[in-house]
Amino acid sequence: MLTSLSIKNFALIERLEINFSNQFSIITGETGAGKSILLGALGLVLGKRADLTSLKNAAEKCIIEAQFQISKYNLQDFFSENNLDYEDVTIIRREILPSGKSRAFINDSPVNLNELQELSEFLLDIHSQNQTQELSNEAYQIEIIDAIANHQNLITEYKQQLSKYKSLKSQLKKIESEKEALSKEHDYNSFLLQELLSANLKANEQEELEATFEKLNNVEFIKEALDKSLALTNEEQIGIIQNLKEVKISIQKIANLSPELKTVFERISSTLIEFEDINIELSKQVDNLTDDPEKLELVNQKLQTIYTLQKKHHVETIEDLLIIQNNLDNKVVLADDLESKIQKLDIQIQENVIVLDNLALDISKNRKTSIPVLISKINEFLSELGMPNALFQFDIKQAESYLPNGKDEVELLFSANKGTNFGLLKKVASGGEMSRIMLAVKAILADYSKLPTIIFDEIDTGVSGEIAHKMGNIMKNMSKQMQVFAITHLPQIAAKGDNHYKVFKSIQGESTISELKLLCKEERILEIAEMLSGKDISDSALNHAKALLN
């Protein structure tokens, strides 16, 4: 409930601080006295946009602060989700700076307007004549029926399943898009992958193949060189080995004559051993050297395959080709894996659809059961409010798609008088009828759901006499379960309030300001008498005012 309101430098209000009770409060005042200013200030607290025209003094900032008692509203989760400090007595503050910048705070923590608007829905409902058009809104009509059906647990479960359904559909759409993109390249990627796999590539293979090719391709040239080398090495008379042996024998004779000669002898001995080993290796090379045209062809083909693949993929090594092969393999596998994921998601969605459809069916059954109860209660109120022949009819159809709270599409049909045909409420109901219907709806909802503080802004426009008296009684009864304010010009309604506030203008120096005052008993009698007879208050008006108050 709204416990207090503080306004500084807003429109015609220089400074205002007022406390409120949890009872039925009346606000009256002449046209133009500042009631709309008061609502405008509360609108800023609810998160409406602000501008510099709101400032009374353009050189100073405007501050509007509202204090709410929220202990019964179960809003701890909202505060936790938005990282705000929860307080049973919560303070909302709006500031408009001379620069035009606006700031909002909840319990001194800065918030954006979206957060403020979300919280305000739980705290305050300013209901003006314009807002009676809410009745024409299908979502609001469903909300009314659901309050009577009292199946919030089903609605909550449905919304959770609907959120899951949307998430699954979103995943499916994303994966299908990925698959479609991959499918366009899938065949080509598969071809490239198969081409690389067929080549049976191995790391470091190219160097070995190129060496083998050079050897096989030059057998005659290599054999000629080896034979010549062996001949020079092994010739009995002038061969290198025979000459080295003779050199060794000659130096051996003088090796002990000096350390230098001994070193020379050792080097010749080592050279001879090394050269004999080289001779053996040359002999092996000759023995192993064979002319193999078939192997040469195979090696050449493999190398040409490698060179072709390197040119095709713009790389220079087998290692690069193996990386490309691995990437292609991943793409091909991914495409196949996406198909598997799509199938799994399809199954999950089908299972989810069954759950959603069952929930939507249960919700729809509850609504159809609750509609006669709702119509009966609305008719009961409207009969009191001078519309005894009003008739309502709810047409419910099943939508093909999932709606935010079920699959029901609702049309509210209305007939104000006997013998008239039903028509859509928004087309056939007058403004006065809509006001009374909305009051009846709000009164019904007060019994079925925890409504926030409600301010009725001249909802009584167009009615008078006994109907006004009945409207006052309805609002009075609503105030037993919630905090209710009524801004009114009708004395019959004003007299029903537990507290009566008057908005009025006063002149201070060269400035006109709006003020709000809680009336005492005598002031209240005079205010209601003035509402009855005007500025010239008669004795009969005073007596009538006292009678209304009693």
- Alpha carbon 1 to its chain centroid, in Å, reads 30
Whether pLDDT at 299 is above 80 = no
- Helix H, strand E, coil C: the string for 177-245 is HHHHHHHHHHHHHHHHHHHHHHHCCCCCHHHHHHHHHHHHHCHHHHHHHHHHHHHHHHCCCCCHHHHHH
In angstroms, what CA-CA distances link 90 with 65, 66, 75, 430, 460? Answer: 10, 8, 11, 39, 32
Contact 28, 503 (CB under 8 A): yes
- 57/372: higher pLDDT: 372
Whether pLDDT at 516 is above 70 = yes
41-65 tens-digit pLDDT: 898 888 888 777 778 887 889 999 9
Lowest-confidence segment of 10-24, 104-118, 448-462 by average pLDDT: 448-462
What are the structure tokens assigned to 448, written together?
């079925």
Of the chain, the percentage scoring pLDDT greater than 90 comes to 37
- Residue 41: strand, helix, or coil: helix
Contact 317, 246 (CB under 8 A): no
Type of residue numbered 160: Q
Whether pLDDT at 407 is above 90 = yes
Whether pLDDT at 178 is above 90 = no
Residue listed under structure tokens 């429109």: 11
Whether pLDDT at 131 is above 70 = no
Lowest-confidence segment of 37-41, 429-433, 471-475 by average pLDDT: 429-433
Type of residue numbered 266: E
Q: What is the mean pLDDT of the chain?
A: 86
| Ramachandran class of 153: left when φ > 0, alpha when ψ lies in -120 to 50, beta otherwise | alpha
- Alpha carbon 492 to its chain centroid, in Å, reads 49
Whether pLDDT at 522 is above 90 = yes
Instruction: List, in order, residues 6 or more apart from 48 with CB less than 8 Å away.
Output: none
CATH class for the region spanning 2-132+452-519? alpha beta
Whole-number Å distance between alpha carbons of 523 and 518: 9
Edge-first strand listing for the sheet containing 484-487? 124-128, 453-457, 484-487, 24-28, 499-508, 511-518
- pLDDT score recorded for residue 129: 67
- 102/331: higher pLDDT: 102
What are the structure tokens assigned to 258, written together?
């000096």
CATH 3.40.50.300-classified regions of the chain: 2-132+452-519
Using the Cα atoms of residue 487, residue 493, residue 499 and residue 504 in order, give the sign of their dihedral.
Answer: positive
- pLDDT score recorded for residue 486: 93
Whole-number Å distance between alpha carbons of 412 and 393: 6
- pLDDT score recorded for residue 130: 65
Using the Cα atoms of residue 100, residue 106, residue 112 and residue 115 in order, give the sign of their dihedral.
Answer: negative
- pLDDT score recorded for residue 188: 77
What ranges make up the beta strands (E) of 419-498? 423-424, 453-457, 484-487
What are the structure tokens assigned to 318, written together?
């087998």
What are the structure tokens assigned to 483, written together?
């905090």
Whole-number Å distance between alpha carbons of 137 and 549: 38
Closest CA to 72 of 134, 133, 107, 123: 123
Whole-number Å distance between alpha carbons of 228 and 240: 12
What are the structure tokens assigned to 276, written together?
């004999």
CA dihedral 154, 159, 163, 166 (to 10 degrees): 100
End-to-end CA distance of the chain: 27
Type of residue numbered 527: E
- pLDDT score recorded for residue 550: 82
Whether pLDDT at 216 is above 90 = no
Whole-number Å distance between alpha carbons of 515 and 17: 10
- 262/91: higher pLDDT: 91
Type of residue numbered 38: L
Whole-number Å distance between alpha carbons of 188 and 320: 19
